[in-house]
Amino acid sequence: MTRLETPVLIVGGGPVGLSTALHLAAQGIDSVLIEKHSTTAQHPKASYFNARTMELLRELGLADEVYATALLAPGVSFYTRLRGYKLGGLDAGDFPDFVNAVLAATAAPGCISSQIVLEALLKKFAEQDAHIKVLFEHEKVALEQDEHGVRTTVRDRQSGEDLVVESAYVIACDGVRSATRQELGHTMIGPPAFGHLINMYIEADLESLVDESEQALYWIATPEAPGVFIGLGGDRRHWCFNTPYFPEKGERPEDFDEARCLAKLHAAMGTATLPIDLLAVGEWVLCGQVVDRYRSDRVFLGGDAAHSNIPTGGFGFNTGMQETHNLAWKLAAVLHGWAPPALLDTYHDERRPVALFNVEKSRENAVNIQETGATLGEPSRDNDEIDRDTDRGQAQRTARASAIARQKSHFLFLGQELGYGYWDSPIVVPDGTRHYVDEHDVEDPVFTYIPNARPGARAPHCMVAPAADPQTTHSILALYDTHFVLLTYGAGGAWATTRREDVLNIPLRSYRIGVAGEPCDLLDVEHRWNALYGIADAGAVLVRPDGHVCWRAFGGPAAHDGVALSDALAIAVGRHVTATRVREED
């Protein structure tokens, strides 16, 4: 039997598994990735790549290729049918302060693309990386682990031969029906499924039926085929249409043959004359749940294996991409020997609360969207004449249109994209400040994001340039990769000399931020850094390899009366964390 050895085995070659391998490779960690299918996705699910995901793709060198096929959509529209009555819309241009906030918060705004495009791109990059061995048409058969490592039996689905992969750790990204999760005895926690969707992948010139173009979504309220057309990138010809079906009425996914799908599509479009190519048909269970534990000794769960998200808001794939980025630097720290294994418990501590919030918000979106008539469930009798030119139909359209404005944070959610943080993490040192939502009395924390460097937060974006090359500007986020980063300003440079010998093996870089004419490493191009990072000239900020702040000092080394920098580094790599604290959630 063939035998492979690798530090990390990744089970699942979807966007989360492939990006996990690339993040590990960026940290210098070898991995083997197995995927039971022969190719990457041929039926898209994910279509919105949010700002934080695009920042991570830029870190991997993929962002420009994604943007080349993508659309920066201005908004969403609501119709009874595409060739019917327009109910209204939500356009980012109607919220100029929000647009300005996005442009100030990131150099990598979210975009509309396709999981088909992204998976193929990730696979290409993974296959070109010397740290990654990619094995498609290989399926996990069995997994055994002990205190020394994990032994996984993998079957080559072409030859039928088995091979054994011996690894220090396994990351299971094998989907919502994860066999690994079931084998380990983990439980998904949350309400039961409350609906089912048929997902039709089509090619058609839908925008010829409406007045506006380049919208991310067209929501449809007709009772014959309620649901949503989802744009899939910049060519504006590829779409998914999601519409409900009802198992309790005896309906089955396999009943949706081409004729039935076309009938639904024609009903939603309001015409049967537009040419349509039906490319694929799939199903989606509307269920929002999160796994009880993200770690089982040497095996970790990520992506859909850890949480099932309702598609309203697009946070399933994005949550998964971001969570294994959190895990990658921690595995690298342990495997490189500068952090204890107890650090790995914090993957559960930090990421499960984020998944819970995103899953709950997606559920709220799915419930609230029904106010517009574009239900993903059973159409209401209050919608029965919405397509008709009657007094009742007019009243129904007026009522549905009035609900559109209340969907704002379903589609404009910068606070949810970038404002999440690891506030209660055992490897983050609090500095006594309040969350910006409380500090500024933010009315809608999903919609509103205020950049800040409170420990636990994603470090704020701003533009910097090397002092020796002022014309070469880049986001400060580009500094956060394989090392801890200590940022100071002005007199704060004294912090760079305060490290104790017993933490010098933790990879740490120091940068002094400043302005032209002053001694510094990086120029504060927009003169925003001090305000964003919230420290006086003598202070300092410590940022982890995943770009999250883990410690902050407001004064210089002599004046600082909190946790010392050297102790903060030790805490940040888990040297103060007791082993195996993860427990099964209630």
pLDDT in tens, 49-85: 999 999 999 999 999 999 999 999 889 999 999 999 9
581 pLDDT band, cuts 50/70/90, is very low
Residues 301 and 450 in one domain: no
Look at the block and give the residue holding tokens 């004359």. 273
Mean pLDDT, rounded, for 230-238: 92
Q: What is the mean pLDDT of residues 407-436?
A: 96
Residue 40 pLDDT exceeds 90 = yes
Residue 167 lies in a domain: yes
Q: Is residue 208 part of a domain?
A: no
pLDDT band at 583 (very low <50, low <70, confident <90, very high): very low
pLDDT at residue 492 is higher than 80 = no
Side chain identity, residue 577:
V
| Mean pLDDT (whole number) for 544-557 | 95
Report residue 270 as tokens.
Answer: 């309001």
- Residue 359 sits in the same domain as residue 437: no
Cα-to-chain-centroid distance, residue 367: 22
360 with 453, same domain? no
Put simply, whether the predicted model's pTM sits higher than 0.85 gets the answer yes
564 and 447 share a domain?
yes
Question: Which residue in this structure is represented by tokens 């740490």?
Answer: 508
Q: For residues 572 and 551, is the Cβ–Cβ distance under 8 A?
A: yes
Tell me the CATH number at 128.
3.50.50.60
- Please give the Cα distance from 518 to 523 (Å, whole number): 9
Please compute the mean of the pLDDT values over residues 277-303 and round it to a whole number: 96
pLDDT at 111 over 70: yes
Residue 140 lies in a domain: yes
Q: What is the pLDDT of residues 185-219, one digit of tens each?
A: 999 999 998 899 999 999 999 999 999 989 999 99
Last residue of a domain, one of 338, 364, 390: 364
Residues 472 and 545 in one domain: yes
The region of weakest confidence among 347-356, 445-454, 509-518 is: 509-518
Assess whether pLDDT exceeds 50 at residue 242. yes
Phi/psi of residue 489, nearest 5 degrees: -145, 135
Structure tokens given for 584: 């099964």
**Of 394-398, 471-475, 582-586, the least confident:** 582-586
Supply the pLDDT for residue 585. 41
Give the pLDDT band (50/70/90) at residue 580.
very low
Q: Which two tokens stand for residue 2?
A: 């063939």
262 CB-contact burial (10 Å; exposed 0-12 / middle 13-18 / buried 19+): middle
Share of the chain above pLDDT 70, in %: 97
- CATH classification at residue 529: 3.40.30.120
- pLDDT reported for residue 1: 77
Domain of 546?
424-572
Sign of CA dihedral 18, 22, 27, 29: positive
First to last CA, the chain: 42
Q: Are residues 447 and 357 in the same domain?
A: no
In a domain, 440, yes or no: yes
Q: Is residue 342 part of a domain?
A: yes
428 and 300 within one domain: no
Of 364, 383, 408, which closes a domain?
364
Residue 197 located in a structural domain: no
Q: Is residue 409 part of a domain?
A: no
Indicate the average pLDDT of the chain.
94
348 and 449 share a domain? no
Q: How confident is the model at residue 584 (pLDDT cuts 50, 70, 90)?
A: very low
Domain boundary residue among 348, 364, 380?
364
pLDDT value of residue 582:
41
Average pLDDT of the residues in 72-101: 95
Residue 80 lies in a domain: no
Nearest to 50 by CA among 134, 3, 113: 113
Based on the fold, state whether residues 339 and 460 are members of the same structural domain: no
What is residue 316's predicted lDDT score, i.e. its pLDDT? Answer: 92
Q: What is the pLDDT of residues 268-278, one digit of tens each?
A: 999 999 999 99
What is the reported pLDDT for 249? 92
Question: In the predicted model, what is the mean pLDDT of residues 393-415?
Answer: 96
| Residue for token pair 């492939």 | 18
**pLDDT of 556 higher than 70:** yes
Per-residue pLDDT band for 150 (boundaries 50, 70, 90) equals very high
Domain shared by 467 and 554, yes or no: yes
Nearest-angstrom CA–CA distance, 91 and 100:
14
pLDDT digit string, tens, across residues 307-322: 999 999 889 999 999 9
342 shares its domain with 481: no
Q: Do 360 and 429 share a domain, yes or no?
A: no
Count of the separate structural domains present in the chain: 2
